Amino acid sequence: MHNQKQIKSSAHSRSSHSTAMPTLVEQESLIALFKSEQFAEGEILARQFIQRYSNAAFSWKALGTLLLAADRQREALPVLKRAVELAPYDTESINSLGKALQDLNQLKEALDCFNQALVLQPNYASAHANRGNVLAQLGHVEEGLACLTQALTLRPNFAIAINDQANILKTLRRPTEALTGYVRALALKPNFAQAYNNLGLVLQELGRYHDALAQHRRALELKPNFNYAKINCANCLKWLHFQYDDLSARQLLLRALQEGWCRPSQLVEVSCNFIKFNSTIRKAIQLIELTPLAQLPIQELLNPIEIEALINDTLFVSVMETIPICDTELERLLTQLRYSMLRAVDIDIASPAQLQLLQIIAIQCYLNEYVFAVTDDETARITELKQRLTTAIEHQLPISAWQIATFSAYCSLDCLPAAATLFDYPSLAPITALLIQHLREPQQQSEYRHNMPQLTPIESGISTLVKNQYEENPYPRWVKTAALTQALTIDAFIHQQFPLIQFHLLQKQVNADILIAGCGTGLHSIDTALRFADSQVLAIDFSLASLSYAQRKTVELGITNLRYAQADILQLNTLDLQFDLIESAGVLHHLENPIVGWKILLSHLRPSGFMFLGLYSKYARQAVIKAREFIAAQGYQATADDIRHCRQALINQTDVPEYQRLISGIDFHSLSGCRDLLFHVNEHHFTLPQIADLLREFKLNFLGFVVDSAVINDYCNCFPDDPTATNLEYWNQFEQEHPNTFGNMYQFWMQKAP
C-alpha cells in the first residue's frame, strides 16, 4: 500500500489563531523539496516554519506529510493532529492524519478521519482510496474495492489508487487482474517503487521468482532504503538456482547476508550456488574428486594467488563466518583443506593469507560444531597437537597462531587447560576473533546460565532426556538473524498474514503479553520480540545451555522487551500467568504427551488470544523416518563420532532420493541440527485430520498456515471455493498430492474464542 501524501499552498490551511503563515514563495520552496523527495531538507525547512509560524496549520501539515513520506508515522501522528486542531476543515490534513493512524494500525480512528474528509469534500479521490484500503484491512474487502473503484471514477489515471486496487485484487486471489493493475500504475508513474515491489509479490505467488526478483531490485534502485523490497528480494533469492554468475543477483545476495534482510540460513543454498562459481573453488573441487583424501598438500590445492582470491571473495567469507555451508562438494573441499593445513601445522612460514583462510575454515567448523568427517590420522595428529599446546600453556612456551587456528578447526579451544591465558599471547593477535568465539562468548554464557531463573522443575522421564539432548547440543548455533523485522501490533500482523480472515481484534497497541514456549537458542524469541516491539515477551526452555546462548545474543542485539527462564511446559499449570499470544514452533511434538502440552498452553491463553504452533507432519517426515530406520539398523548412536559416520553413509547413498532430500536441508550440516533431525530422543507426528479434530475439541478458530505464497496460489487454484485457504479437509487432499508441501512440519495460527 502506498500513502497518498501531498502538500499544497492553500489559504484554507490558515489558522484562525494567527494571521502569520509562510509566504507563498516559502511554501513553494518546501513543496519543491517534497516533490523531488528531498525529505531531510524539507523537514529542516518545515521545522523552521514551525518555529517562525507556530500557529500556521501549513507548517504542521508540511512537517507531518514529510515525516509520513519518510515512513516515520509515530513522529508524524502528533504533528498532524496539531495541524487538524489548527485547521479542522482542511481535508488534506485530515486525510494525512488518517494515513498515519492507518499505518500505525489504529484502523477505526483512521476510518473516522477518511469519513470526515469525505463529508467535507465528497469528491476527494485520495480519501476514497484510503478509505477503501482501511476497509480492506478491517476485513470488508469487497466494500474496500468499491471505494477504490469510486476513487478511480473521480481520477481515472490515479496511479496510487490503481496500485491499491491491484493490492485488493491480489488479496482476493485474482493475480492476473492484479498484475494488469500494477503494470498500468507503472505506465502512469514509471518511478513508482511500491508498485514495482507489489508487482514482484504477484510474480512470486505465480512462482516466477526470477521475474519477481527483477521487480524488487527495480524498487530498491528507486528507493534504496525500501525495507519491504529488501525482504522480498531475499524471499525470491532463497528459491532460486543460477546457471551462471549473475553479478546483480550476487550483489543483492551479499547485501542480504550482510544487512540481515532475512535469516542467513534461508539463503545458504543459493549462496553455495554462487560460491561454486568462483574459479578457484571450482578447480579445487575438481582436483579433490580425482585424488584420495590427504594426498594433497595445501600448496597443490591452492597456490598463493588462489588463496588471496579466495579470502577476497566477500560472499565466500560472509557465508563461512555466518552459517554452516549446505553443500556436500564444498564440505568435501573444506574437509580436505583442513586436513592439508593440519599436516602443515609445524611449518612456520605460513603466509598471512594462509592463516586468514585457516581462520575462516576454523570459524566454519565451529559453527557446524565439527560435523565434518575426521580420519584416524587426523585424530592422532590432533591428540598430539593438544598435548603440545597443553605443555606450552603450562610452561609459557611460544605458541603460533597457525597451531591454535588448526586446533580450533577440530576442537573448541576451551578444552585446553588454562585456555583463557591464550589472550595474553601477542602471537595470537591475528586470530583474536577465534579466541572470542571459543572462549569469551562461552564464558558470558556460563555467567547467564548461573543467573537464569527457574519457573518450574523439569519433570523426569522424557522431559529430562530432551533437556539433556539440548544441554549437550544446543540447537541451533547461529550468528545473525533478520535485522529488518517489521514492528507491528499482533492484530496488524495477523491481518497481514491472513487478510481475508475475520478475527476478533485484541486492540492492544502496547504491552501485549507473549510467551515463547520452547525458545531454543533464541532465534524464534528474538524475531518475535523485534516484530512485536511494544510487547513483553517471556521465553522458556528446558535447556540452560540453550537459554544462556539465547540470552547472550539478546543482550548483544540490545533487545529489552524479552526475558528468559527455565521451565517445563508440562509443569506450567503451577504458574498463574496469562498471555495474549503463545508461540511454540517445533516443540510440542518432542514432549511425552504433545496434546496435554497443547491443552496446558491454552489454559494460559487469554480469551481472544492467538496461538502459533509448529507440529511435525507425518507425510513430510517420511524421509526422516526412512533415515531413522537406517540408523537403527546400523546401530548408530547419538554421539558426535556416530553422527559424523552416519552423515557420510547417507551422503554416499546417492541412489536414495529420500536421503538426498535430507542432505539438501540446512539441519543436516551441523552436529546439533543433524542430531535434532535424525537422532532425537523423542518425537511424534501428526496428520491434518488429527489437527482438525483437536481444533474442534479445543474450540479454536483456525486462521491459516505459514507457507510460501506460491503454495497458497497453487492450493487456491485447486480449491477455488476456499479463498481463505482454511479448509483442512482440502489441505489434507493437497498434501496427499504434494507430500513436501509443509517442509518438515505444519506451522499454523489459531485464535481462542472470546
* Domain-ending residue, one of 233, 261, 289: 261
Quick one: pLDDT band at residue 294, thresholds 50, 70, 90?
Answer: low
Would you state the pLDDT for residue 348? 58
In a domain, 119, yes or no: no
pLDDT digits (tens, 9 = 90+) for 648-707: 999 999 999 999 999 999 999 999 999 999 999 999 999 999 999 999 999 999 999 999
Is residue 118 included in any domain, yes or no? no
In a shared domain, residues 592 and 466: yes
Residue 238 pLDDT more than 70?
Answer: yes
Nearest to 320 by CA among 342, 338, 347, 305: 338
**Residue 231: half-sphere exposure toward Cβ, Cα within 13 Å:** 11
What was the pLDDT predicted at 349?
Answer: 63
Looking at residue 55, what is its pLDDT? Answer: 86
Q: How far from 98 is each of 68, 105, 658, CA to CA, in Å?
A: 11, 10, 54
Taking the C-alpha atoms of residue 714 and residue 734, their distance in angstroms, rounded to an integer, is 9
Q: Is 562 a member of any domain?
A: yes
CATH number at residue 698: 3.40.50.150
Provide the H-helix boundaries in 557-621: 594-603
Q: Are residues 283 and 211 in the same domain?
A: no
Higher-confidence position of 27 and 732:
732
* Alpha-carbon gap, residue 60 to 68, rounded angstroms: 12
Q: Can you tell me the distance from the alpha carbon of 63 to that of 212, in angstroms, rounded to the nearest whole number?
A: 35
Q: How far apart are CA 392 and CA 410, in angstroms?
A: 19
Closest CA to 547 of 651, 613, 471, 629: 471
Beta bridge pairs of residue 513: 536
Q: What is the pLDDT of residue 293?
A: 58
Of 234-238, 299-303, 325-329, 369-373, where does mean pLDDT reach its minimum?
299-303
Coil, strand or helix at 517: strand
Which pLDDT score, from 0 to 100, does residue 92 have?
94
CA-wise closest residue to 220 among 238, 241, 209, 234: 234
440 and 300 housed in the same domain: yes
Are 725 and 596 found together in one domain?
Answer: yes
Is the pLDDT reported for residue 637 higher than 90? Answer: yes
Query: Quick one: pLDDT at residue 241?
Result: 95
> What letter represents residue 679's amino acid?
F
Instruction: For the chain, give the mean pLDDT.
Output: 93
Does residue 5 surpass a pLDDT of 70?
no
pLDDT tens, position by position, 380-437 = 999 999 999 999 999 999 999 999 999 999 999 999 999 999 999 999 999 999 999 9
pLDDT tens sequence across 560-596: 999 999 999 999 999 999 999 999 999 999 999 999 9
Is the residue at 13 inside a domain? no
17 has a pLDDT exceeding 60: no
Whether residues 536 and 496 share a domain: the answer is yes
Rounded to whole angstroms, the Cα distance separating 616 from 233 reads 29
Shared domain check, 555 and 523: yes
Instruction: Point out the domain boundary residue: 447, 468, 485.
Output: 447
CA 142 – CA 580 distance, rounded (Å):
30
- Say how many Å lie between the first and final Cα of the chain, rounded: 30
Q: Is residue 43 assigned to a domain?
A: no
> What is the CATH classification number for the domain harbouring 203?
1.25.40.10
CA angle 255/259/265 to nearest 5° reads 85
Residue 28 scores a pLDDT above 90: no
Mean pLDDT of 493-509: 92
Task: Give percent above pLDDT 90 in the chain.
Answer: 83
Mark whether 673 and 726 lie in a shared domain.
no
Is pLDDT larger for residue 487 or for residue 709?
709
Q: State the pLDDT at residue 14.
A: 38
Encode pLDDT of 588-599 as tens digits: 999 999 999 999
Q: Range with the lowest mean pLDDT among 1-5, 71-75, 268-272, 602-606?
A: 1-5
Q: Are residues 689 and 628 in the same domain?
A: no
Beta strands in 617-713 (DSSP E): 700-705
- Residues 589 and 516 both lie in one domain: yes
β-strand partners of 516: 539, 583
Is residue 163 a part of any domain in this protein?
Answer: no
From 409, 431, 447, give the residue that closes a domain: 447
Are the C-beta atoms of 226 and 193 separated by less than 8 Å?
A: yes
Question: In total, how many domains does the chain have?
Answer: 4
Could you tell me the CA-to-CA distances from 641 to 369, 386, 619, 646 in Å, in that order?
12, 18, 30, 9
Tell me if 112 is assigned to some domain: no
Helix (H, G, I), strand (E, B) or coil at 440: helix
Q: What pLDDT does 743 receive?
A: 87
Burial (Cβ within 10 Å: 0-12, 13-18, ≥19) of residue 472 = middle
In the block, residue with C-alpha cell 530422543: 681
Question: Could you tell me if 583 and 642 lie in one domain?
Answer: no
The answer to whether residues 346 and 424 belong to one domain is: yes
| In a domain? residue 268 | no
Q: How does residue 18 score in pLDDT terms, banded at 50, 70 and 90?
A: very low
Q: Is the domain of 431 the same as that of 497? A: no
pLDDT (tens digit, 9 = 90+) per residue, 530-560? Answer: 999 999 999 999 999 999 999 999 999 999 9
Query: Above 90 in pLDDT, residue 528?
Result: yes
Which is nearest to 144 in space by CA: 126, 125, 131, 157?
A: 131
Span 98-119, pLDDT tens digits: 999 998 888 999 999 999 999 9
Q: What span, in angstroms and rounded, lies between the C-alpha atoms of 133 and 148? A: 8
**Domain range enclosing 694:** 454-618+685-754
